[in-house]
């Protein structure tokens, strides 16, 4: 699997997971941060984010996680794929890399 596709799919799954956690929180169930998978750490390593870009990169990434809750739920997160692809492009932009 190509790295770009792998990263995009990881983002998609993290968006879906965050979407589900936001839904549970809206129902009054809180996890106190215990259910976060830290997929962003894997993605950050795959994208080779340098320390000086970490804050900007993280800001973009977590903004997309917040946006996921406004997308419809779907079994495999299909509705989130365009959001994941946009997230990847913007993360690449923060790093000064052309989108692949």
pLDDT in tens, 49-63: 999 999 999 999 999
For 32-53, the pLDDT digits (tens) are 766 678 899 999 999 999 999 9
- Is the pLDDT at 100 greater than 60? The verdict is no
Rounded to two decimals, what is the model's pTM? 0.89
What is the percentage of the chain residues whose pLDDT exceeds 90?
A: 69
- Is the pLDDT at 98 greater than 90? The verdict is no
Pair 64, 77: CB distance under 8 Å: no
């Amino acid at each position: 699997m190509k790295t770009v596709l792998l990263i995009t799919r990881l983002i998609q799954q993290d968006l879906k997971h965050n979407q589900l956690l936001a839904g549970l929180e809206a129902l009054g169930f809180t996890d106190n941060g215990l259910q976060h998978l830290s997929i962003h750490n894997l993605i950050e390593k795959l994208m080779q984010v340098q320390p000086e870009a970490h804050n900007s990169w993280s800001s973009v990434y977590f903004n997309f996680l917040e946006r996921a809750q406004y997308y419809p739920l779907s079994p495999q997160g299909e509705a989130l794929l365009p959001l994941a692809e946009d997230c990847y492009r913007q993360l690449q932009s923060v790093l000064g890399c052309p989108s692949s």
